[in-house]
Chain A
Amino acid sequence: MKYMRIRGNGRHGRRFAILCLALIVTLPTWPATAVSPRPAPAGHDHAAALAVAPSAGERALRLQALLGQHSVLAAEFMRGRIRGDENFAQSANAALGRNTDAMAQLLGELLGAATAKRFAELWQEHVVELFTYAGGLADQDDAVLAEAREELIEYEEDLAGFFVGASHGRLTTRAAGGAMRMHVDHLLDQADAYAARDYPASNRLYRESYRHTYELGGVLAAALLSAKDAGALRAPIWRLRSQLGKLLAEHVVLVEDVTRAAVTGSPDFTAAGQMLNGNTRDLATAMDSLFGAAAAREFQSLWAHHVDQVVAYAAATAARDSARREQARASLHALEGRLAAFLEGATGKRLRSTSLTDALLAHDQMLLRHAEAFAAKEYGTAHEMAFETYDHMYELARLLSAAFGATVAARLPVGGVATGDGGMAGVVARR
């Protein structure tokens, strides 16, 4: 019945406003900058591969990646609005629009164009209300905050209803509503904390939000795919790739967050660093589970050094200290080879050091370019780099998870277990 309420008239207005916003943020408001030659991707182009013949598993991973990216971009967008950083907020919004378009395209492949169009409308409106909420925080306008919250609650319900309908009831109203509510709560709460300068809380919620939306992507994919296709999402190799992708892409997101704080000397640097450390710990924990404690310690040492050098590069960029920048770049380059050699050894040469070194070089180059662009306030370039680094990491996660999975599988026990001698066979057989 909400379409009958007075504020319902505003929906058409908001749609028009979304169009205005989209037009503004897609205008080339920043000068084109000379970008270093793009690093070669780790393997074939991820986006192109998905466009050719995406499997159910690929589509599910893509949905996870896009939803995780949405949460990060939305948080950045809101933060930019809170601190009154016009250029950054516009760039973040353009990136958010690109992310929404990609999600709509993906859902279009699964559900048809009309359904995807409906999704895009609801999703964009939800983004506009997040923007409005951030504006209310910036202006300390309680009335705007309350109104935005009210609108967001309605969009939560609309989006939940959309997914319930699109899944033909496989996703319950309760589950969908709860998931959408949590997503919005994460974003609003992180914005509240950010505005209140409670950076530990804001960054904790930023990370929780990413993880929640990423997992939500898997839940939605399982509900939207056919039952047969959804079965692929239960395969351990898919789950390993999904979970490793989540951790590695989170590394990208958090290291970029830290470098942004580093180049600006902002007071949330320490809190952002703690979140990045949490991701580094989680990666090491995963390596322990897959390859044992000794390998995990070696991996973490190399990985931590990699992170340190990226941050050092960002700090040196902020200080305009070219000598320290080059030192950090050289250290990173040396680490690429060492990390590649480690992974080649850990996987019994299922991963080759030479190609892996190239992939890690590409990863580092994009992170450094992101830091440079952000420091120069070339936000369009910075967001472009963020997109590329994020997508590149998913391709790297595909390669790593395949090699990790095969390595572990090679040492798994085979066959059933002989855990009975028949003394109770008469009873056991009847169960």
Chain B
Amino acid sequence: MPARAALLVALAVLLTTGLARSGPPGPGPSAPGAPASGAPGGTASEAPGGPADTFRSVRTYPAVAEPVRLRIPALGVDSDLQRLDRLADGTVAVPGRADRAGWFAQGPRPGQPGPAVVLGHVDSRTGPGVFFGLARIRPGAVVHVDRADASTIEFRVTEVSRVPKSRFPTDLVYGPTLEPTLRLVTCGGGFDESRRSYRDNVIVFATPA
């Protein structure tokens, strides 16, 4: 009970007088008619509106350079990156060579807000492609993306999934968010000889390390 009584007394004092006492950094209660003390230390030398009169908002933002190289140590992948666009039929272009990865250049660059998407072949007609081992990558693996300004951003794999191409989750892969993520995409599953195409896509999701 003494503790409770003491607390009540202390709080009552605090509420009725404590707030009116100026703390060490503050100038104390403002004089009538003076500007409100919006922050401690509002002094005569800081005339109201002084620094605000010359305030000018920033007109630039840090640009993120284009990606030029992809490295995945766990898979022994080290490839330069080709720019890829959306084709007239709405599909995405794929890298021109099986040993080279490509980046969807109409989407975010790796490290920008949003999902950056890198595509690579699992194989060619004659042998493995740059993403031959992608389906075996495990969550936690690190992916490095080197950029044109000599900077590098690292991502860490969070999820690996395989989906039928007929139900490709465009939204989850390319859908605009403001999180700087990376998706790696290649083919997987069974090969449909009649269509000369794999039935599935392997999608790796990664976030900044």
Tell me if chain B binds chain A: yes
List residues of chain A with CB under 8 Å of any chain B CB. Answer: 6-7, 9-10, 12-14, 16-17, 20-21, 24, 79-86, 88-90, 135, 137-140, 194-197, 199, 235-237, 239-240, 243-244, 247, 258, 260-270, 273, 276-277, 280-282, 284-286, 288-290, 293, 296, 300-301, 303-305, 307-308, 311-312, 314-316, 318-319, 374-375, 377, 379, 404-405, 408-409, 411-425, 428-429, 431
User: Are A82 and B58 in contact, CB atoms less than 8 angstroms apart?
Assistant: no
Name which of A13, A243, A408, A420 has the most chain B CB atoms within 10 A of its CB.
A420
Output the least CB separation between B52 and chain A (Å): 4
B86 contacts A263, C-beta separation under 8 Å:
no
Instruction: Check B7 against A197 for contact (C-beta < 8 Å).
Output: no
CA distance A158 to B91 in the complex (A): 53
With beta carbons under 8 angstroms apart, the residue of B4, B22, B48, B136 that contacts A9 is B4
Q: Which residue of B lies closest to A237 (CB)?
A: B175
Candidates A140, A263, A264, A419; contact of B122 at CB < 8 Å: A419
| Listed A/B pairs (13) with beta-carbon separation below 8 Å | A10-B3, A79-B40, A139-B23, A264-B35, A273-B51, A281-B62, A409-B171, A409-B175, A413-B91, A417-B165, A428-B188, A429-B189, A431-B188
**Are A428 and B50 also in contact (CB < 8 A) when A9-B3, A308-B55 are?**
no
Could you tell me the distance between the alpha carbons of A240 and B113 in the complex, rounded to whole angstroms?
10
State whether the Cβ of B151 lies closer than 8 Å to any Cβ in chain A: no
Q: Give 8 closest A-B pairs by Cβ, nearest first.
A: A138-B23, A416-B165, A236-B175, A266-B39, A83-B26, A264-B38, A420-B187, A13-B4
Name the one of B36, B58, B132, B172 contacting A304, with C-beta atoms under 8 angstroms: B58
Q: A86 vs B125: C-alpha distance in the bound complex, in angstroms?
A: 78
- For residue B149, CB closer than 8 A to chain A, the reply is no
Residues on the A chain within 8 Å of B56, using CB: 304, 308
| Residues of A contacting B26 in the complex (Cβ-Cβ under 8 angstroms) | 82-85, 138
Q: Which residues in B have their C-beta under 8 angstroms from that of A269? A: 39, 51-52, 55
Query: In the assembly, what is the distance between CA of A19 and CA of B204, in Å?
Result: 53
Task: Select one of A7, A80, A237, A311 contacting B3, CB under 8 A.
Answer: A7
Q: Give 1 or 0 for each of B42-65: 1 = CB within 8 Å of chain A CB.
A: 110011111111011111111110
What 0/1 pattern do residues 120 to 134 of B give for CB contact below 8 A with A?
A: 111111111101100
Question: For the complex, is B138 an interface residue (Cβ under 8 Å from A)?
Answer: no
Question: A374 touches which one: B36, B91, B119 (CB < 8 A)?
Answer: B36
The answer to whether A270 and B21 have CB atoms under 8 Å apart is no
In addition to A9-B3, A265-B42, 7 A-B residue pairs with Cβ atoms within 8 Å of each other are A84-B21, A289-B176, A300-B58, A300-B61, A418-B187, A422-B198, A423-B126
Known: A17-B7, A267-B42, A314-B52. A85 touches B36 (CB 8 A): yes
Task: State in angstroms the CA–CA spacing of A419 and B168 once bound together.
Answer: 14
Q: Quick one: which of B58-76 are within 8 Å of A by CB?
A: 58-64
Give the number of residues in B that approach A within 8 Å (Cβ atoms). 107
Question: Could you say which residues of chain A place their CB within 8 Å of the CB of B94?
Answer: 417-419
- Residue of B whose beta carbon sits closest to that of A137: B23
Contact status A263-B38, CB under 8 Å: yes
- Name the B residues within 8 Å of A237 (CB-CB): 171, 175
Q: Does B150 contact A (CB under 8 A)?
A: no
B129 with A419: CB separation less than 8 A? yes
A285–B176 contact, CB under 8 A?
no
- How distant is the Cα of A61 from the Cα of B166 in the complex, in angstroms? 33
The smallest C-beta distance from A106 to any residue of chain B, in angstroms, reads: 24
CA distance A307 to B57 in the complex (A): 7
CA A282 – CA B129 in complex, angstroms? 38
Chain B residues, CB < 8 A from A308? 55-57
A7 to B6 CA separation, bound complex (whole angstroms): 11
A85 to B35 CA separation, bound complex (whole angstroms): 12
Q: What residues of chain B lie closer than 8 Å to A377, measured between beta carbons? A: 30, 36
User: Is the Cβ of B186 less than 8 Å from the Cβ of A405?
Assistant: no
Most buried by A among B48, B61, B86, B132: B61
Q: Indicate if the CB atoms of A83 and B57 lie closer than 8 Å.
A: no
Q: Which of B140-163 contact A (CB under 8 A)?
A: 163
Q: Which residue of A lies closest to B185 (CB)?
A: A417
Q: Which residues of A contact B48 (CB under 8 A)?
A: 263-265, 315, 318-319
CA distance A108 to B1 in the complex (A): 33
- When distances are taken between beta carbons in the complex, the residues of chain B under 8 Å from A135 are 14, 18
Q: Is the CB of A419 within 8 A of B11?
A: no
User: With A and B bound together, what is the CA distance between A206 and B172 in angstroms?
Assistant: 33
Interface centre among A139, A411, A412 (most CB of B within 10 A): A412
B178–chain A nearest beta-carbon distance, Å: 4
User: What does the 1/0 interface line of B94-124 toward A look like (CB < 8 Å)?
Assistant: 1100100000101110001110000111111
Q: Contacting B91 at CB < 8 Å: which of A21, A307, A375, A414?
A: A414
Cross-interface CB contact of A420 among B28, B172, B186, cutoff 8 Å: B186
Q: Which of B18, B57, B98 contacts A421 (CB 8 A)?
A: B98
* A421 in contact with B177 (CB, 8 Å): no
* Contact, CB under 8 Å: B39 / A280: no
Q: What's the minimum C-beta distance from A317 to chain B, rounded to whole angstroms? A: 8
Instruction: Write out the residue numbers on chain A whose beta carbons fall within 8 Å of the beta carbon of B193.
Output: 422
